[in-house]
């Protein structure tokens, strides 16, 4: 049985990714061990409230799965080193499209820190846990430092973040999740023997057609009105950007599709990947040894990252539709 931990900063695309994971885990009889929250799209208190709202909107219960019992752990409120708190209002000021959603009263947050919970759960289920990281990597990096044996206990590590062509979405060269905490991204990539990286450019190439999104929203309204209201409310900022993108850019859902079913991956590049920590324009930039230059000089060992280039969009569409079924 596969088990998941979702580390996230909801975030509209995080929310959709979580809903996808809940519906697929229920369908496949898998377990979501925890949702852990981190600073990112909005401050930690809001990402945590948002995680509660997301888990509340899709109460799924099967003989082996109960989404109401998925525990939520609060992680780091700020980056490891720098203290800059810049927030980008893409997801609305509240992180979920300013849709006026009610707090999830029935939910509570565990007292254990997310980094400690990750270590404990990955040890308890050694070799079984897929860790999906959808926000800045601060808490995961902290877990790596607290317990250097933690990365080896994880079955599969999936990171949404970084760039493949140094085309940043928040600075000239860096992607939001890496930009928010470059040191954490560096620690994580260098601690895990192997991670899947779903970059900004890859997600840009896997947008979901507007017509499909509209159909999804309609089906949600028919199958469950609260889910319909929720999805329509949170996706309003996307729909406002219709002219800018070919389709809805749901970065974290692309990474979640890879976590749920690694078979969706149609092509990868295996390389050594690191993150630049200095520089006027380059801080937070993803650095990739495309030609194996560092490896040749024996400055690095084996490739540490599978850079996801292409995924099967039909499968991802199925997973999205699973939310409303």
Helix (H, G, I), strand (E, B) or coil at 45: helix
User: Which residue lies nearer to ligand BDR by CB, 176 or 238?
Assistant: 176
Binding-site member from 33, 184, 227, 251 for ligand BDR (CB under 6 A): 251
Question: What are 70's two structure tokens?
Answer: 């998925």
Q: Least Å distance between CB 252 and ligand BDR?
A: 5
User: Which residue lies nearer to ligand BDR by CB, 12 or 323?
Assistant: 12
User: Which residue lies nearer to ligand BDR by CB, 36 or 177?
Assistant: 177
Q: Which stretch binds ligand BDR (CB under 6 A): 6-14, 62-70, 221-229, 237-245?
A: 6-14
**Residue 160 interacting with ligand BDR (CB under 6 A):** yes
For ligand BDR, the binding residues in 176-215 under the rule CB under 6 A are: 176-177, 200
Phi-psi region of 104 (alpha: psi -120 to 50; beta: other; left: phi over 0): beta
Distance set, CA 42 to CA 85, 124, 163 (Å): 9, 31, 22
CA–CA separation, 269 and 8 (whole Å): 25
Binding-site member from 4, 5, 7, 11 for ligand BDR (CB under 6 A): 11
User: Which residue lies nearer to Ca ion by CB, 11 or 282?
Assistant: 11
User: Which residue lies nearer to ligand BDR by CB, 120 or 236?
Assistant: 236
Among candidate residues 274, 273, 276, 277, the one with its CA nearest the CA of residue 81: 277
Question: What are 138's two structure tokens?
Answer: 């601060």
User: Which residue lies nearer to ligand BDR by CB, 14 or 56?
Assistant: 14
Helix (H, G, I), strand (E, B) or coil at 163: coil
Sign of torsion over alpha carbons 150, 151, 153, 158: positive
**Residue 252 interacting with ligand BDR (CB under 6 A):** yes
Q: CB within 8 A of 214, min separation 6: which ones?
A: none
Say which entry of ligand BDR, Ca ion, none residue 24 contacts (CB below 5 to 8 A, set by partner kind).
none
Side-chain half-sphere exposure of 152, counting CA atoms within 13 A: 3
CA–CA separation, 181 and 178 (whole Å): 6
Say which entry of ligand BDR, Ca ion, none residue 235 contacts (CB below 5 to 8 A, set by partner kind).
none
Give the per-residue contact string, 73-92, with ligand BDR (x = CB under 6 A; - = no).
-----------------x--
**What does the binding site for ligand BDR look like in residue numbers (CB under 6 A)?**
11, 13-14, 41, 90, 134-135, 160, 169, 175-177, 200, 251-252
């Amino acid at each position: 049985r596969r088990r998941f931990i979702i580390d996230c900063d909801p975030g509209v695309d995080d929310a959709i990714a979580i809903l996808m994971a809940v519906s697929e885990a229920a369908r496949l009889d898998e377990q979501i061990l925890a949702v852990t929250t981190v600073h990112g799209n909005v401050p930690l208190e809001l990402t945590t409230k948002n995680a509660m709202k997301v888990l509340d909107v899709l109460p799924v219960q099967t003989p082996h799965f109960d989404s109401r019992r998925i525990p939520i752990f609060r992680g780091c409120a700020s980056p490891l080193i720098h203290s800059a708190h810049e927030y980008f209002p893409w997801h609305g000021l509240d992180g979920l499209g300013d849709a006026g959603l009610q707090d999830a009263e029935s939910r509570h947050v565990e007292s254990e820190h997310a980094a400690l919970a990750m270590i404990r759960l990955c040890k308890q289920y050694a070799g079984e846990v897929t860790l999906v990281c959808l926000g800045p990597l601060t808490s995961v990096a902290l877990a790596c430092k607290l317990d250097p044996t933690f990365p080896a206990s994880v079955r599969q590590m999936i990171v949404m973040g970084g760039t493949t062509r140094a085309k940043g979405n928040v600075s000239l060269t860096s992607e939001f999740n890496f930009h928010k905490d470059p040191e954490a991204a560096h620690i994580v990539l260098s601690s895990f023997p192997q991670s899947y990286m779903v970059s900004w450019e890859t997600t840009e190439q896997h947008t979901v057609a507007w017509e499909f999104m509209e159909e999804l929203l309609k089906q949600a309204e028919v199958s469950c009105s609260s889910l319909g209201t929720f999805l329509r409310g949170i996706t309003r900022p996307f729909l406002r950007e219709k002219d800018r993108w070919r389709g809805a850019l749901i970065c974290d859902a692309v990474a979640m599709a890879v976590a749920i079913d690694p078979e969706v991956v149609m092509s990868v590049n295996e390389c050594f990947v690191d993150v630049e920590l200095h520089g006027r324009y380059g801080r937070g930039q993803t650095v990739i040894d495309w030609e194996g230059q560092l490896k040749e000089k024996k400055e690095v060992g084996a490739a540490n990252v599978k850079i996801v280039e292409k995924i099967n969009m039909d499968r991802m569409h199925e997973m999205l539709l699973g939310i409303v079924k």
